[in-house]
Amino acid sequence: MSHPVPSDKPSNPENPRVFFDVDIGGERAGRIVLELFADITPKTAENFRALCTGEKGTGKSTGKPLHFKGCPFHRRVTGEKVTIMHDKVGLLSMANAGPNTNGSQFFITTVPTPHLDDKHVVFGQVLKGMGIVKMLESIETNEDAPVKPCAIGDCGEHKDGDSWGTGPRDGSGDTHPDFPEDSDVDFKDVDKVLSVAEDVKNIGNSLFKNQDWKAAVNKYSKALRYLEVSGELLEEAAQQKLEPTALSCFLNTAACNLKMQLWQDALESCNEALELDQANTKALFRRAQAWQGLKENSKAMIDLKKAQGIAPEDKEAMVAYLQGRNVARARRIWPGYFLPGRCHSLGLSAVTLGKMASAASMPLFMAVWVPLIFGTFMKPGLQPISSPPGKCGSYRGMMFPALELPKGAQ
């Protein structure tokens, strides 16, 4: 992917500029700033500018505001002029149904679209915010309509000295544009890109410590966007300098997703980390936790065994492996006695439980009578207690720990 900025300077300084503040899923995603080609298409440009400011009031026939504010992005066009060709990304073009049918509907190109030449009027271009356009393009759709609500939360005319609005306004101290497309960083300078990515990652780590998992994931994702754009422009040797930071971001993202119990997202982040480092025990351990959350205990055990084999001196990996193995034994012997989401106050370790359940060390009558004995003793005096998800697995009358969630970012 080349650095996909269509333009960051007006083709004519006298042309008006307008902005859209875009909301996705009810949250402010960012700002798109557009130049209107008033020097080439004056009527279309002026009509569009007025719809951005809302200065024309309400329509006489409809009684509705003549204003883009609050209007949804209702369609993503994937298939399918007049002096300007649709030959690059970020062009603003007027939708119509034929000659002399221009209205207020418009589209922004995300790829060159020469098949639209001589059919639609190009009357502007994106100056900043192409990353937001790409984000809108990537939203999942159902029959071309976005499944998340996407709307123009605010809009207006962009004057000299106004904020370009490409940087975050989240109070985190992050000053870098949310999308590489809007950054002035030289993406062929690996040290400059690393500096930005590390800065954003460290802000994510601070959010992690404050247990703001979702905001932390957003920062790690942002750092990865910068690394991805740079990596595709660099030679292989320079790309390798980016990998430690990328690996850290994937691992930290997985940790956040585990905290939020987004098991599938955590799994995908771990897979990305393992593509960079197949022997990374943290990635294997966290993927095992994700598998456990998805009730794929056999797959969790495979990853735990790999982690323990790679780093046998790692006590955390060893304990998790033994716990998982012994719980698996117990589940095979006494499947009816496991109660998801509950635990009891009588504590036997996972190691003890596993030994009890081992077919090699326990005769058949023990496998039958031990649960009955414990079930009998537990009924009169000990009541089940609720347990936070991820803190315990359950056996009637016994408590054993499940895999502990990650404690910190790196």
Out of 75-89, 119-133, 259-273, least confident range: 75-89
Out of 46-55, 122-131, 186-195, 360-369, least confident range: 360-369
Say how many C-beta atoms besides its own lie within 10 A of residue 288's C-beta: 27
What's the pLDDT tens digit per position in 316-327? 655 555 565 555
Average pLDDT, the chain: 75
Tell me the domain boundaries of the chain.
Answer: 17-157, 180-321, 338-401
User: What local confidence, expressed as pLDDT, does residue 112 receive?
Assistant: 62
User: What local confidence, expressed as pLDDT, does residue 410 receive?
Assistant: 76
Q: What is the mean pLDDT of residues 78-85?
A: 40
pLDDT at 383 over 90: no
* Domain 180-321 -> CATH class: mainly alpha
User: What local confidence, expressed as pLDDT, does residue 88 receive?
Assistant: 57
Written as one string, the DSSP assignment of 293-336 is HTT-HHHHHHHHHHHHHH-TT-HHHHHHHHHHHHHHHHHHH-GG
What is the rounded distance in angstroms from the CA atom of residue 92 to the CA atom of residue 113?
12
Distance of CA 106 to the CA centre of its chain: 28
User: What local confidence, expressed as pLDDT, does residue 78 receive?
Assistant: 47
Residue with the larger pLDDT of the pair 382 and 14: 14
- DSSP code of 2? -
Angle at CA of residue 334, ends 333 and 338, nearest 5°: 140
What is the rounded distance in angstroms from the CA atom of residue 37 to the CA atom of residue 41?
6
User: What local confidence, expressed as pLDDT, does residue 242 receive?
Assistant: 96
Going from the C-alpha of 190 to that of each of 194, 198, 215, 343, the distances in angstroms are 6, 12, 26, 51
Which secondary-structure segment (H or E) carries 31? strand 27-36
Q: What is the mean pLDDT of residues 250-261?
A: 97
Q: What are phi and psi of 90, to 5 degrees?
A: 80, 15
**17-157 and 180-321 share one fold:** no
Percent of the chain with pLDDT over 70: 66
What is the rounded distance in angstroms from the CA atom of residue 342 to the CA atom of residue 402?
12
pLDDT at 400 over 60: no
What is the radius of gyration, based on Cα positions, of the chain?
28
Q: Which residue has the tokens 């001196």?
A: 313
Q: Tell me the CB-side half-sphere exposure of residue 128, using CA atoms within 13 A.
A: 21
Going from the C-alpha of 156 to that of each of 16, 33, 34, 120, 367, the distances in angstroms are 11, 10, 11, 24, 74
pLDDT band at 290 (very low <50, low <70, confident <90, very high): very high
What's the pLDDT tens digit per position in 321-355? 556 555 555 555 445 444 444 443 333 444 444 44
* Domain 17-157 -> CATH class: mainly beta
What's the pLDDT tens digit per position in 123-169? 899 999 888 888 888 888 888 788 889 999 999 999 888 878 778 87
Q: What is the mean pLDDT of residues 20-27?
A: 91
Q: What is the mean pLDDT of residues 99-105?
A: 52
Query: Which tokens hold the place of 305?
Result: 């065994």
Say how many C-beta atoms besides its own lie within 10 A of residue 262's C-beta: 20
What is the rounded distance in angstroms from the CA atom of residue 273 to the CA atom of residue 248?
8
What's the pLDDT tens digit per position in 199-241? 999 999 999 999 999 999 999 999 999 999 998 888 888 899 9
User: What local confidence, expressed as pLDDT, does residue 280 receive?
Assistant: 95
